[in-house]
Structure 1
Amino acid sequence: MRFLRSKRGNVAIIAALSLPALAGSLGLGAETATWYVNTKQMQNAADAAAIAAATNAASSYVAEARAITAHYGFTDGVGLVSVAVSNTATCPAGGSNCYSVTISRPQPLLLAQIVGYHGDTTIGKAPAKLITATAVALQSMVARPYCLLALGDNGVNTALVANGGPKADLSGCNVMSNTGAICNGHDLGADNGDAHTTNNGCGVVEHSNVAVVPDPYAALAVNIPPDPCNGNYPQEPQQKKDPSLPSQNQLAGIENWSGPIQMCGDVQLAGPVTVNTSGPTTLIIYNGQLDTNNQILQTTSGSALTIIYAGTNGSGPNGPYIHAPTGGGTLDVAAPTSGPWSGVVMYQDPGLTSGVDISAAGNSPTWDLTGAVYLPHSSVTFSGIVNKASNGKSCFAMVVDNITINGTASILEHGQCAQAGLAMPTGQVPSRGKLVL
């Protein structure tokens, strides 16, 4: 009777009945932890692979991404692993130019089935849980300033060419062609050589397929005053019977200038010229050249000058108008550091398309310039040395249509363009990828 009234076996019975559920719960907990660990590993691999693919941003981006996931132990097609890579993924901020990497692998179910969980896929015919991880990255862009920009608007397929210039030195500078670039025998020493199409040999680090850099200074032309010359543009005599330049077109000695100095036709230095300016000053030459004539034009300490070529694409009695500096001697000029012409030392009106070429940039005359030289339709041969103005900061940039660099072409001093008031030509270039999802 005492045996029949005993309750000692109740616990054992309850434990026996609860054991399957307990085992299933413990199994599900253990498997869930395993899924979490595997997902975390996959996510790390997907993150790294998406960044690599966005950084690569070339036709090999898929191989790049899968090489990274394999390094993490997830090789596409091995051990039921699948690695899907795309460069047309939707970006969280809009657009469909993001790079995505999705890693997936089914995990067989073990004790989790005891509690009735049958997974969301199968391995063979056995139930399994599909583990996935997805990362989305976008190639970031960074600003790159250029000391030399070839616009290539005149239809030249290779707007930047260097011919056998083993002593050329553009170190510390970046160069850019909005078409192609080719450097034969020497990389110019430029830190980065960029081209919109193909770059062949220009720059210590070469880049092709770079986005076009917009013309940075064309809008400044609105600051050029109207032509005051009434069609009268004296030109230098080419033959004995040609009239000489009037005295107002010949400069010598000390010039005290302020505001716009407007001159009609050719301007020639009849001796050394020292320019004192009161505030930012422009020398505007309408339908004429500046002939340095083996003399020097220099700005004094605290003075600043922008030399502007304006006018029309026409001809005078002695031939087509020349809108460029010519002659030996030296241009030793610092650009203004404020005002509309801040940082610009020489400017050709972008409306001028003829008489704008320069065949001996930096050489005849010598260029000791601080600031930007803007020659948007000019074919330039650069074979001299550009140094800073005696009374200016170390800053030089040049914008041309196309350029050929020969011999020892060098830009000796640079790096102070912010202090010189110049907003340098700047493009957006690809950088490392960054995760966005």
Structure 2
Amino acid sequence: MIRSVRILMRRFQRDERGTVAIIMGVLLVPLIGAIGIGFEVSNWYRVTRAMQNAADAAVVAAATNGGATYSAEAAAVAAQYGFVNGVSNVTITSSNSAPCPGGGNNCYSVSISGYVPLLLSEIVGFAGDAKINGLAAKRLAASSVATAGGMQSSFCLLALGPPGIRTNGAPKANMQCNVMSNTGATCNGHNLGAPIGAAHTTNNGCGVNQYSNVPAAVDPYAALASNIPPNPCGSYPQEPSKKGAPLPNNNLWSGTQSLSGNVFVCGDLQLTGDVSVNAPAGAVLVIENGQLDTNGYTFKTTNGSGLTIIFSGTNSGSYTHAPTGGGTIDVAAPTSGTWSGIAIYQDPNLTSGVNISAAGNSPTWDITGLVYLPNASVTFSGAVNKAGYGQSCFVLVVNDITINGTGMILPNGQCIPAGLLNMPTTTLPGRGILVA
């Protein structure tokens, strides 16, 4: 019998049947856990994707609605995607004062959240982040942000009259702010790089986002003409021809000029050297029936100074009412007072001698504030930077403008601290635009 037992033990020792079953029994728990986690994560992604689609559609609907019922509009659209506020632990929240990615707090937002029960992931010890009816659950959420349809937009370039905005071979133009024409706009081969291009009639290619048939922008600056100081001049010396008499000394500037209040130059003002304007309380330089000829020099405001240059006078004679010459105009507008935010102002009563053929290039424009040329046909060729001692704010109002080559307006987001509180605006039509 002992011998038989030994034989059976040897046979049992050599028998490998059932080994796989034992190994599978040991591995079964982690295997089921891995499958469970994979299934759970796939389900979470599916539900979150559905939530995101619902939030995107709901926020665009709310922004397009733009009225007092925007929240109900958002909830109704989310319900079409199967997410009903207060049902099955779903929560939908909406706002019309959400932060916008580009600044401000006038965007619309919709957030959708809910819970899904855990199915297999508890096997590996995941307990979720909530309890629903005593059962472990996972919270999921999605949110979206949109700008309102029909919202007001502001513009750094406004053309008041025909033919509006045009390009002339401008493959490098980079207008880093919105542009608007109260008539038409035609940009052949290049959209100017402006985020928004709008026209009261037809916009043909201007702007990354293009709008036609929008309401005309109101000119908020024409009324300032009533604040131009009365003309005290009796004569208007002009720059001489080859045989003419030279300008009087009062019309020739160089060095440091300390200005305050209203300062008049009768006739042309010509630089004979670099000029630094010291006007800590702000000043208004009125050039009557004359040009500002930088003559290859720099005309600049010092740190803490503010200056408004006004071109005024009459339409008779052959006067030029504009900046001319090479060099640089480096001017920051006053930040308070009647002329707050106004750097250059052509009297809207002037209709002759107001055109500018090389704006931003001859002279170079480094300007903080508004340049108002309401009856001027302007050819814009250079790049406008902020003043050396100014904020990033530039607004150009013209009758019509042709943009050449490298016409550029650099970032333009500090007009309020620069003193320019009112910019040209209009209301853009259309549905809400998803922005985040």
Give TM class, smaller chain.
Answer: 0.5 to 0.7
User: How far apart in 2 are the matches of 1:223 and 1:168?
Assistant: 35
Q: How far apart in 2 are the matches of 1:343 and 1:177?
A: 22
Structure 1 position 145 matched with structure 2 position 154: yes
Superposed displacement of residue 431, structure 1 = 4.9
Distance across 2 between alignment mates of 1:186 and 1:163: 10
Match of 1:164 in 2: 169
Secondary structure in 1 matching 2:366: strand
Alignment of 1:193-204 (within 5 A): 193-204=197-208
1:172-187 aligned within 5 A = 173-187=177-191
Partner of 1:428: 427
Counting aligned pairs with the same residue, the percent is 61
Q: Which one of the candidate residues 220, 227, 230 is aligned to 1:226?
A: 230
Count of aligned pairs: 298
Shift of residue 140, structure 1, vs aligned partner: 5.8
Determine whether 1:367 maps to 2:365: yes
Question: What does 1:311-390 correspond to in 2, within 5 Å?
Answer: 311-315=313-317, 320-390=318-388
Query: Which residues of structure 2 form unaligned runs of 5+?
Result: 1-56, 66-76, 82-147
CA distance in 2, matches of 1:430, 1:421: 29
**Within 1, Cα distance between the matches of 2:214 and 2:343?**
28
- What is the alpha-carbon distance in structure 2 between the residues aligned to residue 304 and residue 181 of structure 1? 34
Alignment partner of 2:357: what SS?
A: strand
Q: Distance in 1 between matches of 2:315 and 2:324?
A: 18
- Aligned-pair CA distance for 1:238: 1.8
- In structure 2, the partner of 1:216 is 220
Q: Please state whether the residue corresponding to 1:263 is helix, strand or coil.
A: strand
Deviations 1:162-187 (A, max 9, x none): 1221111112x000000110101100
Q: Post-superposition shift, 1:419?
A: 1.1
> Within the alignment, does 1:205 sit opposite 2:214 as a pair?
no
The C-alpha deviation readout for 1:66-106, integer Å capped at 9, x for no partner, is xx9xx99xxxxxxxxxxxxxxxxxxxxxxxxxxxxxxxxxx
Residue in structure 1 matching 2:412, options 411, 414, 418: 414
- AA aligned opposite 1:202: C
Task: Show structure 1 runs of 5+ residues with no match.
Answer: 1-46, 56-67, 73-138
Measured against aligned partners, the alpha-carbon deviations of 1:239-283 in whole angstroms (never above 9, x if no partner) come to 31x111000000000111100111100000010000101312111
Aligned equivalents of 1:429 and 1:307: distance in 2?
A: 33
**Structure 2: which amino acid aligns with 1:188?**
L
Which residue of 1 is the match for residue 246 of structure 2? 244
Runs ≥4 residues deviating over 6 A: none
Q: Does 1:391 align with 2:389?
A: yes
How far, CA to CA, are the matches of 1:300 and 1:186 in structure 2?
A: 37
The DSSP-based 3-state class of the residue aligned with 1:221 is: helix
Distance 1:388 1:332 in 2: 8
Structure 1 match to 2:49: none
Q: CA RMSD in A?
A: 2.4
How far is 1:51 from its partner?
6.2
The TM-score with structure 2 as length reference comes to 0.65
Instruction: Report the Cα distance in structure 2 between the residues aligned to 1:368 and 1:268, rounded to whole angstroms.
Output: 19
Deviation track 1:177-223 (CA, whole Å, cap 9, x = no partner) reads: 00110101100000000000100100000000010011120011111
For the residue of structure 1 that corresponds to 2:349, the secondary structure is coil
The TM-score with structure 1 as length reference comes to: 0.65
